[in-house]
Every structure is written in structure tokens, then in C-alpha cells.
Amino acid sequence: MTREKEKSNRFGLAVREARAAAGLTQEELADRSGLDRSYMGGIERGERNPTLSVIEKIAEGLGVTLAELFSYSTKKGPRA
């Protein structure tokens, strides 16, 4: 696996875990973020490499800061 793909997979997993913790479906998060649901699914599966502006929209849709989204741990939620 390439380094870029690994990063995409890790970010996608963080988005999925944060979305689940927020109690949102992919469609709800996509709507809140102003994105298409299929694009959101691609991000979560590590198939898309979102721009910073898209990442900001996702964080806003989740109600978290960029730092919280990037530090999201699948075991503990956002790190303090």
C-alpha cells in the first residue's frame, strides 16, 4: 500500500468513527457538509483524497474542529 493510500485510509476511518460517535448517517453528514453522499462514502473508504476545504466542511458538519478531526482515535474519540 502506498503512503498516500494509507493516509487516505486513516483519514477515512477517522471520519467514519467521528460520524458514528456523532450518531449521524453518511447521508446526514454529507448534507451537513454540503457534499454528495457517494463522495462522503468514498472518503470514508479511503478512495478519495479530499482538499482542505472539503475537510473543513466535514469538520463543520461533525461539529468538531480540524484539530479534533485529525486527532480522532478509533478507540478513544477526540484526544484531549
pLDDT in tens, 1-45: 788 888 889 999 999 999 999 999 999 999 999 999 999 999 999
Query: How far, CA to CA in Å, does 48 sit from each of 7, 76, 78, 79, 80?
Result: 11, 25, 23, 25, 28
Q: Whole-angstrom Cα distance, residue 60 to residue 54?
A: 10
Q: Total structural domains in the chain?
A: 1
Residue 11 lies in a domain: yes
Looking at residue 80, its pLDDT comes to: 46
Q: Which of 2, 15, 3 is nearest to 55 (CA)?
A: 15
Domain with 42 in it: 3-70
Q: Could you tell me the CATH number of the domain that includes residue 46? A: 1.10.260.40
Query: 77 in a domain, yes or no?
Result: no
Confidence of residue 73 (pLDDT cuts 50, 70, 90): low
In a domain? residue 80: no
pLDDT at 78: 53
pLDDT at 30: 98
